[in-house]
Amino acid sequence: MCGIAGWIDWKKDLREQQHILKSMTDAIEHRGPDAEGAWVSENAALGHRRLIVIDPNGGKQPMLYQNNHHQIALTYNGELYNYLELKEELTGKGHTFNTSSDTEVLLHSYLEWGEECVRHFNGIFAFGIWDEEKKQLMLGRDHLGVKPLFFTEEGNGLLFGSEIKALLAHPEVNAEIDQTGLSELFGMGPMRTPGQAIFKNIQEVRAGHYMIYNEQGRKDVQYWTLESKKHMDDMDTTVNTIKEILEDTVKRQLIADKPLTTMLSGGLDSSGLTAIAGREYGEKTLSSYSIDFVNNEADFEEDFLRRDLDEPWVKRVSEHVGTDHTSIVFDAKKLVDNLLVPMKARDLPGVGEIETSLYLLFTEMKKTATVALSGESADEVFSGYPWFHQEEYLDAGVFPWLLNIGGIADVMKDDLLDRLHIEDYRKQRYQEALKELPVLEGESDIEAKQRRMSFMFITRFLPFMLDRKDRASMMTGFEVRVPFCDYRLVEYLWNIPFEMKNVDDIEKGILRRALKDYLPDDVRNRRKSAYPSTKDEAYYEGVKDWMLSILNDPASPILNLIDADKVRAMIEDKEQSTTMVKSLFDYLIQVNEWLKEYDVSVKL
């Protein structure tokens, strides 16, 4: 994986502005610690930071194609999992290759198919292609949005980058937030609306889209979307199809010239991928990693999201597959001390402790590997969350996860709440998502509601999960692949009725059947347990004291936005759930430090 950045300008000679391009790529050095590169012409400047995974010698970027009449430059972040098939097809069409990299395959795909090239790709990618002859930029992003890509139109041109910080490194881009950004920050929380980047005038290329930019303007194209149609396969065919796609996907995603490992929680998703990868490894030993917390066994309490401890199941799966397993254990102090790192990775406030532990896990995994497989996104694409069969959520009329984070907006100052109309904003965003929903005529009322719920999770919640994974991993120069995001699998699952997905009266029952040849029955039938969270009271005390110090400091920028008395009341209320309150404090601490560190100007 890598970090990309670029600058198109119709008035400046960018050959004299290379120092600014370097500032942009330096800002994302963590994404590509192994090498850097730049290519500059009069109107275009492309930069690259490289994390070497495939073809160490041949994948240098920006990569150029040039003949007598045509010059094209590419900067690219990602992996094309079908690059070998594409290379064979392109060779048959007369293309010649000088490297073994998928980067060169992407470049020649553009030469052959132009902007339609994205329709040929299976992978995770974000790229910028400058066509010197056409004086035109193409920005493309993968089907599900695994790889990030932000842009801003500034002055006489456009800037783009893998992360917002690359854009903010440009002297003409200011860190500002307006009414829409504040509504996102306090109304949507970390689950921002796709396309919105919170900062004023900064946007993201949406998943499944590409963009063409030239002197005439900008064209946005959606090249992939979910299509609703009646699922015609019977149960056995459906199970076998899922199994075959997963096996093919994992095999493709095991390709790497650097050490690879898996994330293993003992849950169905990560266990299944680890088992498939372990069998594919054959006589080689696959490594795996899990996360735990100091005193977790003693402090653990079963709740709605977490039914039992992960570690016994991790051990069970590791022994079954034969992995070389490492369990990483963190204490509360480590979590508090590193709370702000994921915020700096995302350039935005996030979910706090859970995100912090993920970053710390990747930091440890990076010591022995460069690439990992993750079970992320299985719950979204297999409809695995409890909300899919709870009537109050199916009929909520808002994104179901917002019902659990209402406290963020509740602590805002009353006059600001009156001005922002947070509830109306949430409903507006939900209605916008509904308009994109591809309905299927003839479904029952409950089936239509479940399809709607599935759409919201795939297109609105999953982007948050993928953002979290990408920034936490790439902050350490570590690549995480997500097999459950293979668009072929997502397309197939989209039309499988919830009743079939939930076969055997258990969430993701269809996946459990597909993994029958890979996992013991007790592992396959383990009920879903969410990503682990520390129960150590010391963590709550740590963030509570931090929150108090912010409230007691008149210079704290967040005090212009929140009602300090409301937050103090929460701290003093001994009946409050510490689990919910610590999540709120996590977020408010990050908002305050984000406003301060990024010197954000609030423009209302």
Q: Give me the mean pLDDT over the 536-545 stretch.
A: 93
> How confident is the model over 435-459, as pLDDT tens digits?
999 999 999 999 999 999 999 999 9
The pLDDT score that the predictor gives to residue 17 is 95
Distance CA 91, CA 75 (A): 22
- pLDDT bin (cut points 50, 70, 90) of residue 326 is very high
Residue 244 has pLDDT above 90, yes or no: yes
- pLDDT bin (cut points 50, 70, 90) of residue 306 is low
Residue 321 has pLDDT above 80, yes or no: yes
Mean confidence (pLDDT) of the chain = 94
> How confident is the model over 561-585, as pLDDT tens digits?
999 999 999 998 876 767 778 999 9
Distance CA 342, CA 472 (A): 6
Q: Give me the mean pLDDT over the 185-202 stretch.
A: 96
Q: Give me the mean pLDDT over the 463-491 stretch.
A: 97
Q: Which two tokens stand for residue 435?
A: 């308009």
Nearest to 79 by CA among 371, 298, 311, 315: 371
pLDDT above 70 covers what percent of the chain? 97
C-beta separation of 270 from 375 below 8 A: yes
Torsion sign, CA atoms 399, 403, 405, 407:
positive
The pLDDT score that the predictor gives to residue 494 is 98
The pLDDT score that the predictor gives to residue 406 is 61
Dihedral pair phi/psi, residue 55, rounded to 5°: 50, 75
Nearest to 72 by CA among 103, 28, 101, 26: 103
> How confident is the model over 40-80, as pLDDT tens digits?
999 999 999 998 887 777 778 999 999 877 899 999 999 99
Q: Which two tokens stand for residue 565?
A: 């008395």
pLDDT above 90 covers what percent of the chain? 84
Residue 506 has pLDDT above 80, yes or no: yes
Domains for the chain: give ranges and CATH numbers: 2-176+183-222 (3.60.20.10), 235-524 (3.40.50.620), 537-602 (no CATH)
- pLDDT bin (cut points 50, 70, 90) of residue 302 is low
Residue 273 has pLDDT above 70, yes or no: yes
Residue 280 has pLDDT above 90, yes or no: yes
Residue 117 annotated as catalytic: no
Is 357 annotated to bind a ligand? Reply is no
Nearest to 309 by CA among 333, 334, 327, 322: 327
Q: Give me the mean pLDDT over the 125-152 stretch.
A: 97
C-beta separation of 202 from 164 below 8 A: yes
The pLDDT score that the predictor gives to residue 577 is 67
Is 155 annotated to bind a ligand? Reply is no
b/e sequence 74-113, b meaning 16+ C-beta within 10 Å: bbbbbbbbebeebbeebeeeebeeebbbbbbbbbbbbbbe
Q: Whole-prediction pTM value?
A: 0.96
Q: Give me the mean pLDDT over the 310-316 stretch.
A: 94
Is 374 annotated to bind a ligand? Reply is yes
Selected catalytic residue, list 2, 245, 475, 567: 2
The pLDDT score that the predictor gives to residue 239 is 98
Q: How far is CA 223 from the centre of its chain?
A: 19
564-570 contacts, C-beta under 8 A, 24 or more apart: 566/410, 566/411, 567/411, 570/411
Q: Which two tokens stand for residue 208?
A: 């499944």
| Neighbouring C-alpha atoms within 13 Å toward the C-beta of 210 | 21
Is 422 annotated to bind a ligand? Reply is no
